């Protein structure tokens, strides 16, 4: 199983593929782990960064993208799509080697 989710602890637009692990406070992951009964799945984490305006986490996560973020969404979505293809076709380790790069 591959779960794709936002991650506030990653810089905006950065992708990271991870095998297994806890929910780290992410309510969606917590729900999946509880429902499936295991944390044994691959995650594609898509960074949304932290608020620069010190608004609450919930409000920040549910807020609209700003103008600069909107301009980057096509590129981020394309990289995420490519990460899904590599993960499903070649495995998580191969995808990690390609996409877990801090430059993006």
Q: Percent of the chain scored above 70 by pLDDT?
A: 97
* pTM, to two decimals: 0.87
Sorted by where each starts, the structural domains of the chain and their CATH numbers stand as 2-99 (3.40.50.1470)
Q: How many CB atoms lie within 10 A of CB 49?
A: 16
- Give yes or no for residue 103 having a pLDDT over 70: no
pLDDT at 89: 97
Q: Which residues are bridge partners to 45 per DSSP? A: 5, 16
Continuous H helices in the chain: 27-36, 57-62, 67-90, 92-99
d(CA 31, CA 96): 25
Q: What is the pLDDT of residues 53-89, one digit of tens each?
A: 778 888 888 888 999 999 999 999 999 999 999 999 9
Instruction: State the chain's mean pLDDT as an integer.
Output: 91
What is the three-class DSSP state of 7?
strand
DSSP state of 65: P
- Give yes or no for residue 101 having a pLDDT over 80: no
- Give yes or no for residue 104 having a pLDDT over 60: no
Q: Which H or E run contains 46?
A: strand 42-47
């Amino acid at each position: 199983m591959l779960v794709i989710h936002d991650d506030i602890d990653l810089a905006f637009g950065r992708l990271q593929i991870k095998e297994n692990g806890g929910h780290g406070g992410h309510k969606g992951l917590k729900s999946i782990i509880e429902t499936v009964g295991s944390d044994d799945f691959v995650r594609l984490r898509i960074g949304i960064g932290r608020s620069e305006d010190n608004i609450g986490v919930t409000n920040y996560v549910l807020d609209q993208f700003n103008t600069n973020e909107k301009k980057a969404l096509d590129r981020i979505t394309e990289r995420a799509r490519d990460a899904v293809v590599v993960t499903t076709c070649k495995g998580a380790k191969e995808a990690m080697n390609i996409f877990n790069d801090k430059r993006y």
